[in-house]
Amino acid sequence: MSETRTAAPPSAPYAGGAAKAAVRPRQGLALLVIATAQLMVVLDATITNVALPRIQDALHFSGANLSWVVNAYALAFGGLLLLGGRAGDLLGRRRMFVVGLLVFSAASLVGGFATTQAWLLAARAVQGAGGAIVAPAALSLIVTTFPEGRPRARTMGVYSAMSVAGGAIGLVAGGLLVDYASWRWVLFVNVPFGLAAALLAPLVLAGAPRLAGRLDIPGALTGTAGVAALVYGLSDAATGPDGVSHWGDAKVVVTLTAGVVLLAAFGLIEARSRHALLPGRLLRDRARLGANLVMLGLGTVLFGAFFFLILFVQEIWGYSAIRAGVAFLPLTVAVLAGSAVASALLPRVGTRPLLLVGCAACAGGLYWLSLLTEHAGYAGGLLAPTLVTGAGLGLLFVPLPLVALAGVAESDSGVASSLLNAGRQVGGAVGLAVLSTVAWTGAAHAHGAYRHALVIGFDRAFAVAAGISVATFFVTLALIRVRRAGAQPGR
């Protein structure tokens, strides 16, 4: 299963030749390795969030600097995704998958021993870099390891469930580790799983040919810096709990402007480069463009809406961190159920009906959440709408990667995978900034007691998230015409 360097014609359908030619040993273990890697990358955000108060006390972070424990990871992860995807194409996806796991695990180990703020933040940034290598490689390896049709659909269901359920699992695991061990274990816990996955990967994952070419360094620099500046600016821009808007702050304006300029430069470089980091042909296909736009919208909903759901149960209902995590376990079950249904129906009904139903379910569930009050009970107020939303997410995250990767040339599969992940990451930054502004502005201008004002602000954020889900429904309706799993995207 060696990975040798070959040149693939740009028009060669990736899902066909490479997947059929690759040896597919022990697919159950292969699925376990890919799912473990994806779970580690996604889980890291929420499992660390739960530990933030303990980290602040231990390393003496200020309130403002504490956010960098999260942002250092998010910036490195989002900024390096495209480069990580292209590196997998050129250097071998299985090889880069292992490298990414080892980098992620080593950074987790080093970060767990941190005694200073700079030490921890540097380790978190390296973790993000490892995640940016692992995430696109994992998605590409599904295509090389599992044959098209029902096996790949089932695998994509598990992968997608891990992508969404990791957040809820992180809340529970983080609460348990922080309460019964130490905040350091939210980092140490990655090490045994990462090393086990890295050791198994060469044995159970199919290799794919390395492709001739070279990295687009000018594109990598401008693209990475542009995405990082955009994520950084949006993270700082949001109106805070005090109701004060930061959108007009000089630092925010300069950072966002720099991000736009750098991304514009990236677009010009890519249009002229022979070895483009993001080939324009990937976005000229209507269905693939639609899938990435839908993922951008879903990232907005996931990061923003669920951030305020966690705050709601803790600030309004007084839940502890562990109780909050347990409260969202039914959401995880709903995502898993939706993914299982999508995997079973995909070969029969195709991607478009599942995407439309999933978008509609997300919109309905989020609108239902916008009716929450401080006096509502868990069963009547929160459980039912989160089940609807979770089922909708499960229906969406299985077909979206299949549409985004259908018909992609072997030479572009890594960057196509990273583009989808980057959409979710950038969408998350946009969502957190926009929905934070909506929520805190609404709360600041509401009349009545503090808790009631918070509920008004949070409900407005949920309503805006529902509107974004409605927009993804119409994007799907207009752009995505794939008729069955694995079909070539329509135009």
CATH of the domain at 127: 1.20.1250.20
Whole-number Cα distances in Å, 375 to 85, 274, 308, 380, 473: 47, 60, 17, 11, 32
**Same domain membership, residue 370 and residue 255:** no
**Same domain membership, residue 389 and residue 447:** yes
Find out whether 210 and 5 touch, Cβ atoms under 8 Å.
Answer: yes
Q: How does pLDDT run across 255-281, given as a tens digit for each residue?
A: 999 999 999 999 899 888 877 778 878
| Domain-located, residue 13 | no
| Domain-located, residue 298 | yes
Please state, in angstroms and rounded to a whole number, the distance separating the CA atoms of residues 390 and 85.
28
**Same domain membership, residue 486 and residue 357:** yes
Comparing C-alpha atoms, which of 206, 208, 216 is closest to residue 6? Answer: 208
| Domain-located, residue 250 | yes
Q: What is the DSSP string of 119-158?
A: HHHHHHHHHHHHHHHHHHHHHHHHHHHS-TTHHHHHHHHH
Burial class (CB in 10 A: 0-12, 13-18, 19+), 426: buried
**Same domain membership, residue 227 and residue 85:** no
| Domain-located, residue 71 | yes
CB atoms within 10 A of CB 155: 23
CB atoms within 10 A of CB 381: 19
Among 69-78, 218-227, 354-363, 365-374, the least confident range: 69-78
Q: Is the pTM of this model over 0.75?
A: yes
Domain boundary among 276, 293, 314: 276
**Same domain membership, residue 249 and residue 162:** no
Domain boundary among 228, 258, 276: 276
474 pLDDT band (50/70/90 cuts)? very high
| Domain-located, residue 16 | no
| Structural domain for 376, as ranges | 285-491
**Same domain membership, residue 395 and residue 485:** yes
Q: How does pLDDT run across 324-361, given as a tens digit for each residue?
A: 778 888 888 898 899 889 988 988 888 999 999 999 99
320 pLDDT band (50/70/90 cuts)? confident
Please state, in angstroms and rounded to a whole number, the distance separating the CA atoms of residues 296 and 476.
12
Domain boundary among 156, 182, 205: 205
**Same domain membership, residue 222 and residue 188:** no
**Same domain membership, residue 315 and residue 358:** yes
**Same domain membership, residue 386 and residue 473:** yes
| Domain-located, residue 406 | yes
| Domain-located, residue 15 | no
Own/partner pairs, 443-451, CB within 8 angstroms, 24+ separation: 443/241, 443/243, 444/239, 444/242, 444/243, 445/243, 451/315, 451/316, 451/374
| Domain-located, residue 245 | yes
**Same domain membership, residue 237 and residue 122:** no
Please state, in angstroms and rounded to a whole number, the distance separating the CA atoms of residues 132 and 73.
10
**Same domain membership, residue 297 and residue 152:** no
Comparing C-alpha atoms, which of 231, 269, 262, 216 is closest to residue 85? Answer: 216
**Same domain membership, residue 382 and residue 251:** no
Domain count within the chain: 3
